[in-house]
Copies of this chain bind each other. A is one copy, B any other.
Amino acid sequence: MRDVAQAAGVSVSAVSVVLNKKEGARIGADARVRIHDAIARLGYRPNAMAKDLVTGQSRFIGLVADAIASTPFAGQIIHGAQDEAWKHGFVLLVANTEGNQDAEHEAIAMLLEHKVRGVLYSTWYHREVEVPEGLDESDCVLVNCYAAADLPAVVPDEIAGGRDATQLLIDQGHRRIGFINTTTPSPAHDGRLRGYREALAAAGIDLDPALVVEARPEQEGGYDAAALLLDQGVTGIFCHNDRVAMGLYDGLRDRGLKVPGDISVVGFDNQEVIAAHLRPPLSTVALPHYELGVAGVRVLLGLDAPASDGRVLVGCPPVERASIARPAVVPAGDPG
């Protein structure tokens, strides 16, 4: 920078002013030109760290994730956070902890030492977390998780998602709708179930407890659950996630049943590799990971405000594909 000033025949402060496009003090047009010229000629790059040092604040936003890679989803959170941060001139500092306590501690220390503007603490599946100490030394927002501590938390709206998924089936005339929930206790388990109930209630359909079963949230779980639900005479099935739906497809096929001709299926997550390419393509409801990341930095930056309970709910938009049709067996009393 000194070199630039020298080459342009001005002082360093003049260069600084020009670089930061200050409004107040204007620089002579000629000097300004000479400065830009010198910058280009010398290939000068400002030193971000020196700048941050003097201003006392960096342009970093820290993101600590518990499992960057174990799932295709985490990438989306990073992506969304990165995009939004970038939009406001911030850069993402990524720290992966793989659930390791020490790594987490170290990561947070590192972020703090870099004087990050704030940190996003995220998990790969929606759950309650215990906030590691140290995080309180900086602004912090929880992404895809929440804590007893009153930190702002950005989470998917599981209830509305469950409601919408069920509604997809109801809209096509289904009334005996099965639900393969997960065996794992979680906000997803409770929220989607509640959404399922709400949708049923709103449509005036009595809840039949025999229609909701639980299975491991994987293909294998869905495959095994097929038999249970078929015995109950369901015409449509809402699966806890797309992987379960994938397994269900297999289970149905092995019993000679066609989707959606014989049974309609709706998933959850909108896991692209699966949902979009199953035969038939799976109608589902999307887990908004990208948006979670975006919303996370927005509340961190004070652009969005959480509700009074500290939560910001991000919607799970339905994605209609081809796994839902009107039920083959018209319910009694319904002329069709």
Which residues of A are interface residues toward B (Cβ below 8 A)? 43, 45-50, 52-53, 58, 68-69, 71-72, 74-76, 78-80, 82-83, 86, 91-96, 103, 109-110, 112-115, 137, 218-220, 223, 243, 246-247, 250, 253, 271, 273-274, 277-279, 290
Contacts and interface: CB of A to CB of B under 8 A. Distances in A.
Nearest to A67: B79
Contacts of A219: 277-279
A139 to B, nearest CB: 15
Given A69-B75, A75-B69, A110 B83 contact: no
A250 B137 CA distance: 54
5 contacts: A45-B109, A48-B114, A72-B273, A94-B94, A273-B273
Q: What is the predominant secondary structure among interface residues of chain A facing chain B?
A: helix
B47 A49 contact: no
A83 B94 CA distance: 11
Contact of A74 (B75, B86, B109, B247): B75
Given A94-B94, A96-B83, A277 B49 contact: no
Contact of A79 (B49, B69, B83): B69
Contacts of A80: 69
Given A69-B79, A273-B274, 6 more contacts: A50-B53, A72-B72, A78-B94, A91-B95, A94-B94, A246-B277
Contacts of A50: 53
Contact of A82 (B94, B271, B277): B94
Contacts of A243: 273, 277
A86 B80 CA distance: 23
Given A46-B113, A69-B79, A250-B279, A93 B92 contact: yes
- List the number of copies, as a whole number: 2
Contacts of A78: 68-69, 75, 78, 94, 96
Contacts of A48: 110, 113-115
A113 B243 CA distance: 44
Contacts of A68: 75, 78-79, 82
Counting from the closest, the 4 A-B pairs by CB-CB distance are A72-B72, A69-B79, A75-B75, A219-B277
A96 B114 contact: no
A92 B92 CA distance: 9
A52 B79 CA distance: 27
Contacts of A250: 279
A115 B112 CA distance: 19
A103 to B, nearest CB: 8
Contacts of A69: 75-76, 78-80, 290
A15 to B, nearest CB: 15
Contacts of A290: 69
B113 A95 contact: no
Given A68-B75, A78-B78, A79-B68, A220 B53 contact: no
Contacts of A137: 43, 45
